[in-house]
């Protein structure tokens, strides 16, 4: 498990230094890349604080409450896999697509004089980063982290179990985490660092990775034991079929 994450993390940093694809920009589309350069509303440092602080606080709080070391380990494995997997996928797509950012013109020509059909005169690092617009890394990482944390809380609270669906707080509390992810994602269009398509794609990517990695370690949110990792499910449950074979479980409830 540790080796898998180490390899993914290494690949993430390697791909980060790969030269992105340089696509030809037609004169009629130059306006898409002439938005002013501004400081990030959510800086990279702030992003990492959000990405790591929220899930760590939630997972540790749950651990202190239920005192289950096995669950702590499985949650950590799921979260770390999600972040590493999202990182490599996001970076591979970025360098493969090479879409210019909305402020690419001023990265290419800091003095505002020039044409995108000519070689850039700006700092190489700024130009290279300016070609990594799609998908939004801020969006994908925030939705991966907070999406996984929301799923984890949904499971622990049994939000979607039939006998608990009329308790609104079980839905609102975990879902509120996704509001933070939405805020981070939307900010990337407001500061002209990404196009709306980049943000949408990054958000969907992050949420998808979060769901896949959560389900790798935990059962469906409608499962009788949705608060338990697979390693702690009672005997008699056949995860391969997607059905819960237990006298205490409604046979009409299926895994999703």
For residues 187, 189, 191 and 192, what is the CA-based torsion angle, rounded to 10 degrees? 160
- Helix (H/G/I), strand (E/B), else coil: 238: strand
Start-to-end C-alpha separation, the chain: 25
Instruction: DSSP letter for 243, please.
Output: B
Nearest to 214 by CA among 55, 75, 14, 27: 75
C-beta neighbour count of 14 within 10 angstroms: 11
> Catalytic residues, which ones?
138, 194
For residues 77, 45, 132 and 78, what is the CA-based torsion angle, rounded to 10 degrees? 10
């Amino acid at each position: 498990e540790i080796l898998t994450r180490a390899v993914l993390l290494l690949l993430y940093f390697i791909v980060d230094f790969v030269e992105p694809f340089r696509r030809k920009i037609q004169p009629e589309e130059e306006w898409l890349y002439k938005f002013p350069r501004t400081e990030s509303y959510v800086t990279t440092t702030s992003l990492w604080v959000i990405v790591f602080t929220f899930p760590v606080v939630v997972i540790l709080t749950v651990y202190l409450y239920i005192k289950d070391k096995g669950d702590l380990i499985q949650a950590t494995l799921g979260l770390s896999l999600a972040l590493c997997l999202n990182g490599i996928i996001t970076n591979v797509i970025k360098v493969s697509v090479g879409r210019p950012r909305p402020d690419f013109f001023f990265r290419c020509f800091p003095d505002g004089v020039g044409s995108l059909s000519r070689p850039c005169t700006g700092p190489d690092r700024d130009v290279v980063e300016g070609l990594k617009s799609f998908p939004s890394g801020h969006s994908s990482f925030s939705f991966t982290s907070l999406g996984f944390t929301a799923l984890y809380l949904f499971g622990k609270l049994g939000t979607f179990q039939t006998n608990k669906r009329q308790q609104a707080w079980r839905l609102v509390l975990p879902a509120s985490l996704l509001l933070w992810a939405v805020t981070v994602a939307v900010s990337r269009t407001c500061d002209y660092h990404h196009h709306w398509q980049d943000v949408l794609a990054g958000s969907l990517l992050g949420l998808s990775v979060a769901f896949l990695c959560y389900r790798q370690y935990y059962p469906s949110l409608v499962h009788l034991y949705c608060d338990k990792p697979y390693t702690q499910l009672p005997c008699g449950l056949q995860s391969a079929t997607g059905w819960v074979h237990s006298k205490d479980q409604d046979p009409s409830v299926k895994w999703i």
